[in-house]
């Protein structure tokens, strides 16, 4: 396994202050002999036109730093921590989780992006990781900016995900709760079912991290895993 595709470690999740939420949710039901409810699958969305043509040499789970450069990427730092589960609530071990996104100015590092906004040479823009034995993954990145699309339309801030499990693959987008542009974003508003499954809150920062950073806890649910 390449180093950038390593599974997230327990130490990293503890450093983030992420609790063992699986046990917290399911243990009471197990004690009382109840069957857990079936989880709703994370909705699929378009991959969009900016999946990397050539992956950056550095594409680990920290998108805020580029190997060989000393500066941090510009913008709001966010920690994304979650799990890949099937609809029975079981972890999907070894899922490949890819993310790609615009920088804080709303610009992708992609030859097809004609947005005149500046590139950030210190922003990685793409990352990949394998989920661990409990289905967990983690990324450190920058909250992306909105950007023009289809001429007059403006896309709300979002992060692209491509998740490949043992049986299923799901391409989706993660949106931020409370964004004014969410109400007019054609991709988000076009999600017919479980729209809340692709929207996440910005929470206080993980323990020990920059107090200006924020945390997103977001699970990805595949139908079978």
C-alpha separations of 42 from 39, 84, 189, 193, 202 in Å: 9, 10, 15, 9, 19
Cβ count near 163 (within 10 Å): 22
- In the residue annotation, 65 being an active-site residue is answered as no
DSSP string, 23-39: HHHHHHHHHTTPPPPPP
Backbone torsions φ then ψ of 80, nearest 5 degrees: -110, 120
**Is 160 in the active site?**
yes
Strand partners, 56: none
- The pair of structure tokens assigned to 26 is 């399911």
**Which residue is it, tokens 């920290």?**
62
Q: Which of 108, 126, 136, 138 is the catalytic position?
A: 108
Can 79 be counted among the known catalytic residues?
no
**Short-list 139, 133, 103, 156, CA closest to 217:** 139
- Choice among 59, 107, 138, 158 that is catalytic: 158
Catalytic residue among 83, 155, 170, 214: 155
* CA dihedral (125, 131, 134, 135) positive or negative: positive
Which residue is catalytic, options 59, 107, 136, 147?
147
Is 126 noted as a catalytic residue in this protein? no
- 147 is an active site residue: yes
Of 79, 160, 170, 214, the active-site residue reads: 160
H or E element at residue 146: none
**Which residues belong to the active site?**
108, 147, 155, 158, 160
């Amino acid at each position: 396994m390449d180093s950038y595709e390593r599974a997230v470690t327990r130490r990293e999740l503890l450093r983030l202050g992420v609790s063992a939420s699986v046990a917290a949710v399911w243990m009471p039901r197990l004690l009382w002999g109840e069957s857990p409810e079936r989880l709703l699958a994370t909705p699929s969305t378009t991959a969009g036109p900016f999946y990397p043509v050539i992956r950056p040499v550095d594409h680990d789970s920290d998108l805020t730093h580029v190997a060989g450069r000393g500066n941090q990427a510009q913008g709001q730092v966010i920690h994304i921590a979650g799990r890949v589960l099937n609809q029975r609530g079981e972890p999907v071990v070894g899922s490949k989780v890819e993310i790609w996104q615009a920088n804080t100015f709303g610009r992708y590092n992609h030859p097809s992006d004609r947005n005149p906004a500046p590139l950030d040479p210190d922003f990685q823009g793409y990352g990949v990781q394998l989920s661990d034995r409990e289905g967990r993954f983690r990324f450190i990145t920058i909250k992306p900016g909105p950007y023009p699309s289809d001429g007059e339309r403006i896309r709300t801030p979002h992060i692209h995900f491509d998740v490949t499990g043992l049986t299923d693959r799901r391409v989706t987008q993660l949106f931020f709760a409370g964004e004014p542009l969410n109400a007019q974003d054609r991709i988000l508003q076009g999600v017919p079912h479980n729209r809340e499954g692709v929207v996440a809150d910005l929470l206080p920062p993980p323990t020990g991290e920059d107090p200006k950073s924020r945390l997103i806890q977001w699970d990805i649910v595949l139908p079978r895993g």
